[in-house]
Amino acid sequence: MVLETALGDPVFWMAALAGGAFGAAIGALPAFVFTGFMVIAGEAAAFAGAGDEITGAIGFGPIFGPHIAFAGGAAAAAYAAKQGYPELDDGKDIASALGTHRIDVLAVGAIFGIFGFAATELLNYVGFGTDNIALIVFVSALVHRVVFGYDIIGEVYGNNIFDMSPAERDEENAPGIWLPWQYKWSGVASIGIIGGLIGGFVFLVTESPVLVFGISAASLVFLNCGVDNFPVTHHITLPGSVGAFGALSAGMGEPIVMLFALGFGVFGALMGEVCNRVFYAHGKTHVDPPAFGIAASGLLATLLVAVGVFDASIWPTFGL
């Protein structure tokens, strides 16, 4: 089985159906934590000379790929909340497992798993110039809002779409901030610097652009277990690693590589917060800010390829 021809392989379609349903059963966030563990395991196997099949086919593949399991779980949560099922009354709740006793909930996860698989494979096939897994996680959330009758943006109660002050005053109908401990611009920029540098260093040491993503994703087991104030960083560390990869591939020295990692980390963090304020806060289902941040960072990498800063070999860039 070869990932590049996965659309023609019925095994992958069946696996994606199962992956989406599994994400619905265990919950989107727990499914994403598994993604992190699988990426760590896959990169460890690759370092040991056992190949990279675990990362590509399992961690980012049709079982635990975020565009399948996480997106399927998020869609199932939106559906369950819309149906008024007692297991979940909040369409933004991606941490709770929905179990196996409602076949319709599992079916929603399965359908969105298949959608995520097919859409991502098509974008990869045409060489669309970003992280297409992240892009489809974001797009899938907009699709489930439309399909299940939610507003795409939601109702804005503040002075403008970026205004989070009603939530800060705990007003009725206030926007639901994605991470109340990680939304102020200064803090977002700070964790962007920190996470970007971490991503850059991990890439320089390991030469793996995705290991740090696995570490950040797996760390969310603590968030899922209720640890207060735990930061979400995969949309920061992964762009940092990609920025470092691009700079190193262009022949830049390691201090400059780290500066690119820092810049990409800050960019990913800020774009995640933009998504929080535009798409997440005012709506009633989960639209993933990290996915938006990672996809935006991928487009930034493509732009740097287009202007000749990065080498075109690092990224699928619209055929550039």
- pLDDT > 70: what percent of the chain? 96
Confidence band of 86 (pLDDT split at 50, 70, 90): confident
Determine contact, residues 108/56, Cβ cutoff 8 Å. Answer: no
267-306 burial by CB neighbour count: b if 16+ within 10 A, else e?
bbbbbbbbbbbbbbbbbbbbbbbbbbbbbbbbbbbbebbe
In a domain, 85, yes or no: yes
Distance (Å, whole) CA 244 – CA 256? 9
pLDDT digits (tens, 9 = 90+) for 196-245: 999 999 999 999 999 999 999 999 999 999 999 999 999 999 999 999 99
Residue 286 carries which DSSP code?
A: -
Q: Per-residue pLDDT for 51 more than 80? A: no
In a domain, 33, yes or no: yes
Q: Per-residue pLDDT for 2 more than 50? A: no
Phi, psi of 286 (to 5 degrees): -85, 115
Determine contact, residues 1/12, Cβ cutoff 8 Å. Answer: yes
pLDDT digits (tens, 9 = 90+) for 57-67: 999 999 999 99
- Residue 163 is part of which domain span? 10-307
In a domain, 318, yes or no: no
What is the pTM assigned to this prediction?
Answer: 0.95
In a domain, 51, yes or no: yes
In a domain, 34, yes or no: yes
In a domain, 229, yes or no: yes
Nearest alpha-carbon partner for 288 in 200, 217, 227? 217
Q: Per-residue pLDDT for 1 more than 80? A: no
Determine contact, residues 250/309, Cβ cutoff 8 Å. Answer: yes
In a domain, 320, yes or no: no
Q: Per-residue pLDDT for 3 more than 70? A: no
**Contacts for 196 with CB less than 8 Å, ≥ 6 apart:** 236, 237, 239, 240, 243, 261, 262, 263, 264, 265, 266, 268, 269
Distance (Å, whole) CA 176 – CA 92? 9
In a domain, 35, yes or no: yes
Determine contact, residues 139/130, Cβ cutoff 8 Å. Answer: no
Nearest alpha-carbon partner for 144 in 296, 284, 294, 293? 284
Determine contact, residues 134/296, Cβ cutoff 8 Å. Answer: no
Angle of CA points 50, 217, 40, to nearest 5°:
15
Number of domains in the chain: 1
pLDDT digits (tens, 9 = 90+) for 153-207: 998 988 899 999 999 888 877 889 999 999 999 999 999 999 999 999 999 999 9
Distance (Å, whole) CA 50 – CA 212? 19
